[in-house]
Structure 1
Amino acid sequence: MTPFYKGLCLFAVLALGHTSCTQPPTTAGQVPQSQTEGGRAKANGTPKPYSQVISREAVSDSGLFVVHKVADKYYYEIPDSLLQRDFLWISRIANLPSGLGGGYVNAGTATNEQVVVWERFENKLLLKTKSYNAYAADSLPIYLSVQANNYQPTLYAFDIAAFSRDSAGYVIEVSKFFQSDIKAISGLDARMRRDYKVSKLDPDRSFVRSIRSFPLNIEVKQEFTYEAAEPPSNSETGTISLVMNQSMVLLPKVPMKPRLNDYRVGYFTVRQIDYGSEALKSDEKTYIRRWRLEPKDLEAYKRGELVEPKKPIVYYLDPATPAKLRPYIKAGVEQWQKVFETAGFKNAILAKDPPTPEEDPDFSPEDVRYSVIRYVASTTRNAMGPSVSDPRSGEIIESDIVWYHNHLRSYRNRYLLETGAANPSARSLATPDEEIGEMMLEVISHEVGHALGLPHNMKASHAYATDSLRSGAFTQQWGIAASIMDYARYNYVAQEGDKGVRFVRQMGPYDHYSINWGYRLIPEARTPQEEVPVLSRWIEERAGDPRYQFGSGAGGYDPASQTEGIGDDALKASTYGLTNLKKVAPQLMAWTAAQTNEYDDLEELYGELMGVWSRYIGHVLTNVGGVHENRLRPQQEGYIYTPVEAKLQRQSLEWLLSNVFSSPDWLNQAQIVRNIHHASHLENMRSLQVRHLNNLLSFDRLARLMENEVKGVDYTALGMVKQLQQGIWSEVSKGQKIDIYRRNLQKAYLDRMDYLLNDAEAQQAAARSVRGYSTAVTVSQSDIKSIVRGELSRLESQLRSARGRYSDELSRYHIDDSLVRIRAILERERLKG
Structure 2
Amino acid sequence: MKNRYLLAAVLCTLVLGCKNPEKSKSKPISSEIAKTASEKPEKKSDKKTYSDIITKKAITDLGLFQVHQVQDKYYYEIPKDLIGKDLLWVTRIAQIPANLSPYLNAGSKVNEQVVRWEVKHDKLLLKSISFDNVANDTIPLGKSVQQNNFSPILFGFDIELGATDSTGYLIQVGKLFEEDVPALSGLNPNLRKDYKVSRLDKSRSFIDTVKSFPTNIEVLHTMTYVAAAPPANKDAETLTLQMNQSMILLPEDKMTSRLYDERVGWFTTKKVDYSSEALKSDTKTYLRRWKLVPKDPAAYLRGELVEPVKPIVYYLDPATPRKFRKYFKQGIEDWQVAFEAAGFKNAIIAKDAPTPEEDPEFNPEDARYSVVRYVASTTRNAVGPSVSDPRTGEIIESDIIWYHNHLRSYRNRYLIETGAANPTARTLDTSPEEIGEMMRRVISHEIGHALGLPHNMKASSAYPTDSLRSGSFTQKFGIATTIMDYARFNYIAQPGDQDIRFVRQMGPYDYYAIEYGYRWYPNVTTPEDEKQILHHFVSKHSEDPIYQFGSGSSGYDPDSQTESVGADAIKASTYGLKNLKIVAKNLIDWTAKPDENYEDLEEIYGELLGIWSRYIGHVATNIGGVHQTLRTQDQPGAIYQPVPANTQRAATEWMAQYALVSPEWLLDPQIVQRISYKGVTDKIGSLHNRALAGVFNPEAMARMLDNELMHPSEKVYTLQEMIATISQGIWKDVLAKGSSDPIQRQLQRSYVSRVETILKDKKTTSTDIDALLKANLRLITAKLKTASGPAVVKAHYLDMAERIDSILKGKEA
TM-score relative to the length of structure 1: 0.88
Aligned mate of 2:767, from 767, 773, 782? 782
* Alpha-carbon distance in 2 for matches of 1:392, 1:106: 28
1:740 alignment partner AA: P
Instruction: Name the residue aligned to 2:738.
Output: 736
* Alpha-carbon distance in 1 for matches of 2:96, 2:138: 47
CA deviation vs aligned residue, 1:379-399 (integer Å, no higher than 9, x gap): 221111111111111111111
Instruction: Name the residue aligned to 1:77.
Output: 77
1:481 shift after superposition: 0.3
Instruction: Name the residue aligned to 1:436.
Output: 435
Moved more, 57-66 or 334-343: 57-66
Residues 758 and 828 of structure 1 are in contact (CA less than 8 Å); yes or no, is this contact kept in structure 2? no
* Alpha-carbon distance in 2 for matches of 1:244, 1:730: 62
Whether 1:812 and 2:811 are equivalent positions in the alignment is no
Q: 1:285 to 1:702 in 2, by over 3 A?
A: same
> Structure 2 matches for 1:7-18, cutoff 5 A?
none
> Structure 2 matches for 1:665-676, cutoff 5 A?
665-676=664-675
Paired-residue identity, %: 56
Aligned mate of 1:750, from 746, 749, 752? 752
CA deviation vs aligned residue, 1:760-817 (integer Å, no higher than 9, x gap): xxx4xxxxxxxxxxxxxx333333332332222222112123x2xx231111110011
1:705 alignment partner AA: M
Instruction: Name the residue aligned to 1:726.
Output: 728
1:84 alignment partner AA: G
Q: 1:41 to 1:427 in 2, by over 3 A?
A: farther
Moved more, 119-128 or 666-675: 666-675
CA deviation vs aligned residue, 1:720-758 (integer Å, no higher than 9, x gap): 222222221111112123100011111111111221223
CA deviation vs aligned residue, 1:516-566 (integer Å, no higher than 9, x gap): 111111214442112111111111111321110011111211111111110
1:308 shift after superposition: 1.0
- Does the residue aligned with 1:779 lie in a helix, a strand or coil? coil
Instruction: Name the residue aligned to 1:86.
Output: 86
Moved more, 538-547 or 69-78: 69-78
* Alpha-carbon distance in 1 for matches of 2:526, 2:130: 22
CA deviation vs aligned residue, 1:395-416 (integer Å, no higher than 9, x gap): 1111111112221111111111
* Alpha-carbon distance in 2 for matches of 1:41, 1:706: 83
Structure 1 unaligned residues grouped into runs of 5+: 1-38, 43-47, 764-777
Moved more, 409-418 or 374-383: 374-383
1:215 alignment partner AA: P
Residues 216 and 368 of structure 1 are in contact (CA less than 8 Å); yes or no, is this contact kept in structure 2? no
Moved more, 244-253 or 467-476: 244-253
> Structure 2 matches for 1:159-308, cutoff 5 A?
159-163=158-162, 167-228=166-227, 238-308=237-307
* Alpha-carbon distance in 1 for matches of 2:323, 2:501: 24
1:378 alignment partner AA: S
Residues 80 and 163 of structure 2 are in contact (CA less than 8 Å); yes or no, is this contact kept in structure 1? no
- Does the residue aligned with 1:117 lie in a helix, a strand or coil? strand
* Alpha-carbon distance in 2 for matches of 1:52, 1:654: 85
Instruction: Name the residue aligned to 1:617.
Output: 616
Residues 557 and 625 of structure 1 are in contact (CA less than 8 Å); yes or no, is this contact kept in structure 2? yes
> Structure 2 matches for 1:267-666, cutoff 5 A?
267-595=266-594, 597-666=596-665
1:310 shift after superposition: 1.0
* Alpha-carbon distance in 2 for matches of 1:149, 1:684: 54
Instruction: Name the residue aligned to 1:823.
Output: 805
1:701 shift after superposition: 2.4
- Does the residue aligned with 1:262 lie in a helix, a strand or coil? coil
- Does the residue aligned with 2:89 lie in a helix, a strand or coil? strand
Instruction: Name the residue aligned to 1:151.
Output: 150
Moved more, 820-829 or 199-208: 199-208
Q: 1:601 to 1:361 in 2, by over 3 A?
A: same
Residues 489 and 505 of structure 1 are in contact (CA less than 8 Å); yes or no, is this contact kept in structure 2? yes
* Alpha-carbon distance in 2 for matches of 1:245, 1:518: 31
- Does the residue aligned with 2:541 lie in a helix, a strand or coil? coil
2:716 alignment partner AA: D
- Does the residue aligned with 2:804 lie in a helix, a strand or coil? helix
Aligned mate of 1:795, from 760, 780, 788? 780
Instruction: Name the residue aligned to 1:54.
Output: 54
Q: 1:786 to 1:219 in 2, by over 3 A?
A: farther
Moved more, 472-481 or 356-365: 356-365
> Structure 2 matches for 1:127-146, cutoff 5 A?
127-146=126-145
Moved more, 317-326 or 211-220: 211-220
2:801 alignment partner AA: L
1:65 alignment partner AA: F
* Alpha-carbon distance in 1 for matches of 2:675, 2:557: 38
Q: 1:361 to 1:240 in 2, by over 3 A?
A: closer
* Alpha-carbon distance in 2 for matches of 1:209, 1:697: 57
CA deviation vs aligned residue, 1:86-115 (integer Å, no higher than 9, x gap): 1112223344455545x3544443332211
The number of equivalent residue pairs is: 767
1:190 shift after superposition: 3.4
Moved more, 677-686 or 418-427: 677-686
* Alpha-carbon distance in 2 for matches of 1:599, 1:396: 47
Q: Which structure's CA Rg is the greater one?
A: 2
* Alpha-carbon distance in 2 for matches of 1:368, 1:453: 18
* Alpha-carbon distance in 2 for matches of 1:392, 1:96: 31
Q: 1:211 to 1:323 in 2, by over 3 A?
A: same
2:769 alignment partner AA: I
Instruction: Name the residue aligned to 1:33.
Output: none
1:585 alignment partner AA: A
CA deviation vs aligned residue, 1:296-330 (integer Å, no higher than 9, x gap): 11111111111111111111111222221111111
1:189 shift after superposition: 2.9
Q: 1:164 to 1:52 in 2, by over 3 A?
A: farther
Instruction: Name the residue aligned to 1:29.
Output: none
Residues 50 and 165 of structure 1 are in contact (CA less than 8 Å); yes or no, is this contact kept in structure 2? no
- Does the residue aligned with 1:541 lie in a helix, a strand or coil? helix
Q: 1:208 to 1:411 in 2, by over 3 A?
A: same
Q: 1:55 to 1:526 in 2, by over 3 A?
A: closer
1:193 shift after superposition: 3.9
Residues 77 and 167 of structure 2 are in contact (CA less than 8 Å); yes or no, is this contact kept in structure 1? no
Residues 77 and 164 of structure 1 are in contact (CA less than 8 Å); yes or no, is this contact kept in structure 2? no
Q: 1:793 to 1:70 in 2, by over 3 A?
A: farther
Q: 1:183 to 1:787 in 2, by over 3 A?
A: farther
Moved more, 699-708 or 334-343: 699-708
TM-score relative to the length of structure 2: 0.91
Residues 471 and 499 of structure 2 are in contact (CA less than 8 Å); yes or no, is this contact kept in structure 1? yes
1:198 shift after superposition: 4.0
* Alpha-carbon distance in 1 for matches of 2:138, 2:398: 34
* Alpha-carbon distance in 1 for matches of 2:595, 2:358: 45
1:205 shift after superposition: 3.8
1:159 shift after superposition: 1.0
1:174 shift after superposition: 1.9
* Alpha-carbon distance in 2 for matches of 1:455, 1:607: 29
Instruction: Name the residue aligned to 2:33.
Output: none
Residues 50 and 166 of structure 2 are in contact (CA less than 8 Å); yes or no, is this contact kept in structure 1? no
Q: 1:605 to 1:473 in 2, by over 3 A?
A: same
- Does the residue aligned with 1:672 lie in a helix, a strand or coil? helix
1:88 alignment partner AA: L
- Does the residue aligned with 1:151 lie in a helix, a strand or coil? coil
Q: 1:707 to 1:231 in 2, by over 3 A?
A: farther
2:127 alignment partner AA: K
Cα RMSD of the aligned pairs, angstroms, is 2.1
CA deviation vs aligned residue, 1:153-208 (integer Å, no higher than 9, x gap): 11111111234796231222222222222222333333444455544333344333
Structure 2 unaligned residues grouped into runs of 5+: 1-43
- Does the residue aligned with 2:286 lie in a helix, a strand or coil? strand
CA deviation vs aligned residue, 1:68-98 (integer Å, no higher than 9, x gap): 3333333222222211111112223344455
* Alpha-carbon distance in 1 for matches of 2:717, 2:812: 29
